[in-house]
Amino acid sequence: MSSYLLRRLLLIVPTLFGIILINFAIVQFAPGGPVEQMIAEIRGQGQTMGRLTGDGGGEVRQQSSPSGSSSEGPTSTYRGARGLDPAVVREIERAFGFDKPAHVRFGEMLWGYMRFDLGRSLFRDRPVWDLVIEKLPVSISLGLWSTLIIYLISIPLGIRKAVRDGSRFDLWTSAVVLVGYAIPGFLFAIMLVVLFAGGSFLQWFPLRGLTSSGSEGWPFWERALDYAWHMVLPTITLVIGGFAGLTMLTKNSFLEEINKQYVLTARAKGAGETRVLYGHVFRNAMLIIIAGFPAAFISILFTGALLVEIIFSLDGLGLLGFESAIRRDYPVMFGTLYIFTLLGLIMQIVSDFTYTLVDPRIDFEARR
């Protein structure tokens, strides 16, 4: 197992490099980068000043360079830069680090990642690590509570459905599971907002954030209740959107084990149904479910909570990534991608290790 873990750890390096390289190359061809956005902002300010001063059409007037040549030269490769002094454009490029070739910027970014230096945000002027650490508790709260509740609901429900396979209980719960699987989680979020957060009917729960205004000075138990009150709707949204798959996985795992020969042998020896189910079937059937917990937590933490954080205005990693993508804040985009990918790869290794803990018969070395 040790050599297998060592190989998996070594594979993290080329995998991370490939993912970051592909995304970096794609971003280079994406329009609307930070330089273009700053140019558009400058032009917008110039147009506003032109309208205020009565400058017909509101266009930014062409300025002359110090040498007397026209500032509207062919050197600018940015759409919308016409009419701006090339020196201004070059200063914007230098401020955002785009005065260097792409391969140089990529190399500097990799060197920083090797030292776990994710750089600084282009628009927030703060280290990316500070932003991630500031937003991380919100995302961990959502991911942790929703994952725990999903497991607490899905495992008993899946076992019950397996034991009563084909019964009326199995049929109507399958209909509920199908609805939860088919409808996207963000639609449930919108429905909960409309029904219970002051949309059109009731206003039982808050719509925004994880704490109430002024709660910093409240006693601990009041702050805990306030936190739980704010967590209800986002957590319900993630649970509804995530319990269906795990429920059916649990049911199918138990059905597969129940029909195996060792279960028939245990029953033939007179073992009770409870002993057969929880003494023999449970451990084997729960292998894939328990071992998949780390990956499931990471999945909910970094993917499923994105739209939920946006809808409920929760200032977590999902909302940070969304805003960074909109503003083309590349250090934050690539920094969070680096963290998410690294955690995901590590959790896959943890999942494999968990398999061996749950069932020592599994030997990844033997697969060679």
Listed by start position, the domains of the chain span 35-96, 128-367
Give the pLDDT confidence score for residue 53 in this predicted structure.
44
Give the pLDDT confidence score for residue 74 in this predicted structure.
40
Give the pLDDT confidence score for residue 303 in this predicted structure.
57
Please name the residues in contact with 72: beta carbons below 8 A apart, sequence gap of 6 or more. Answer: 62, 82, 83
The lowest-confidence range among 35-39, 178-182, 244-248 is 35-39
- What percent of the chain has pLDDT above 90? 1
The CB density around residue 118, as the number of other CB atoms within 10 Å, is 22
**What is the tens place of the pLDDT at every residue in 306-358?**
778 888 878 888 788 888 888 888 888 888 888 888 887 887 787 777 777 76
Residue 240 has pLDDT above 70, yes or no: yes
Q: Domain 128-367, CATH 1.10.580.10 — does that match?
A: no
Which one is predicted more confidently, 294 or 10? 10
Position 50 confidence tier, pLDDT thresholds 50, 70, 90: very low
CA distance 116 to 122: 18
Q: At what angle do helices 128-163 and 168-182 cross, to 10 degrees?
A: 160
CA distance 343 to 349: 10
Which one is predicted more confidently, 62 or 26? 26
Position 80 confidence tier, pLDDT thresholds 50, 70, 90: low
Please name the residues in contact with 326: beta carbons below 8 A apart, sequence gap of 6 or more. Answer: none
Residue 48 has pLDDT above 50, yes or no: no
pTM as predicted? 0.71
Which one is predicted more confidently, 191 or 288? 191
**What is the tens place of the pLDDT at every residue in 84-99?**
556 766 766 676 677 7
Residue 168 has pLDDT above 80, yes or no: yes
Give the pLDDT confidence score for residue 222 in this predicted structure.
84
Over residues 188-216, the mean pLDDT reads 78
Which one is predicted more confidently, 287 or 135? 135
Q: Whose CA is closest to 176, among 204, 154, 146, 196?
A: 154
Which one is predicted more confidently, 160 or 245? 160
CA distance 16 to 350: 17
Give me the numbers of helices (H) and strands (E) for the chain, helices first please. 16, 0
**What is the tens place of the pLDDT at every residue in 140-150?**
888 888 888 88
Give the pLDDT confidence score for residue 145 in this predicted structure.
85
- Give the bridge partners for 190, in sequence order: none
Give the pLDDT confidence score for residue 189 in this predicted structure.
82
**Residue located via tokens 């998996």:** 8
The lowest-confidence range among 84-98, 122-136, 251-265 is 84-98
Phi then psi for residue 70, to 5 deg, are -70, 140
Q: Whose CA is closest to 92, among 27, 33, 39?
A: 39
- DSSP conformation class of 101: -
